[in-house]
Amino acid sequence: MKSSVRVAITEESQVGEARRNVGEITRRIGYSDSLGSDCAIVVTEMARNLVRHGGGGELLIRELQDPHSPSLEFLALDRGSGMRNVSECMRDGFSTFGSSGTGLGAIGRLADRLEIHSIVGKGTAVWARVCHPGRKEDPMPFEVGAVNVALEREEVCGDAWELDCSGERFRLMIADGLGHGPFAEEAAREAISVFRAYPGEPLADMLGLMHQALSKTRGAAVAIAEVLFQEGKVRGAGVGNIATRVVHHTGSKNLVSDNGTLGASFRRVLEFSYPWEKGTLLVMHSDGLGTQWNLDDYPGLSNRHPSLIAGVLYRDFKRTRDDSTVVVARCDL
């Protein structure tokens, strides 16, 4: 999956940078001038809101890869004063800044999907998706959202993630190449290649194949989680410091990852299995995020789109010395 494009927004002059970034992306993926203009307006309003209401923040642009009907996701993340009433802020004419008060309303009209999570005193996260007119939502029993961001000033991300769905199960993996930069990216991409090449391989065996393939790289931490719909369980296996957590209404459970580095050395790979319930969240992230998060601290967030959940976790728990990846999946089977 492609990495997110990150634009820091701390002042009005950076609004134009965000608009230029999205313009380059929409032209590359073949959006019409009209649809590209819609995306530019969405990004402009998001970026302006970050400056005016959030005290600055980050704008993330993620391309959903589909050769027939691509779409774009936008995340605006701030740690400002938050909104007391999201519905009221969406209404045209409402403003706390003295502006025309049409920003969020314009985003809502132009985006195919829009969700907002805001807590007074903690900040706001706005997620929007703009789809190609020919795109249809995939008839999948799950939704997936992700943030995959390179360390600041690096041109490539040393983390990578991939999803595979076939039959009555889906698999999600994250690979974190040692360190950051091009050599870390090489290791992570090698792990992704093995994941794609052996879709039906048992988890422990697949990690063994990755270990062999990564021997010519600097190595990586890798974890794979597999949800078996009909059996009502989730299995997980990993080597290295990738966090995997299953979150449901009664609590959460961490899936254990074994010590070591694929491509270098590890002692063993064990698979762990836990029950899976309808509406359960699967959250996986690299060590570019801290592990001390608790979704109970964010009222209502667990019911939102996985992309919004991933964005909030990234905003509040990212570490500044490494690449950051967090992937969230919700299954309704």
Read off the pTM: 0.92
pLDDT digit string (tens) for 177-193?
999 999 999 999 999 99
Average pLDDT for the chain: 89
Residue 112 in tokens: 């195919």
User: How many beta carbons lie within 10 A of that of residue 297, not counting itself?
Assistant: 11
Among 220, 223, 232, which residue's Cα sits nearest to residue 172?
Answer: 223
Name the band, by pLDDT with cuts 50, 70 and 90, for residue 140: low
Least confident of 87-101, 129-143, 294-308: 87-101
Least confident of 182-186, 194-198, 263-267: 263-267
Chain centre to alpha carbon of residue 203: 23
Whole-number Cα distances in Å, 210 to 120, 162, 170, 302, 328: 45, 14, 19, 33, 23
Complete domains list, the chain, with CATH? 5-131 (3.30.565.10), 142-331 (3.60.40.10)
User: Does 222 or 13 have the greater pLDDT score?
Assistant: 222
pLDDT digit string (tens) for 198-254?
998 999 999 999 999 999 999 999 999 999 988 889 999 999 999 999 998 778 899
Residue 223 has a pLDDT of 97
Residue 84 has a pLDDT of 76
Report the C-alpha gap between 283 and 304 in whole angstroms.
Answer: 14
Residue 217 in tokens: 């790289």
Q: Half-sphere exposure of 306 toward its Cβ, with a 13 Å CA cutoff? A: 20
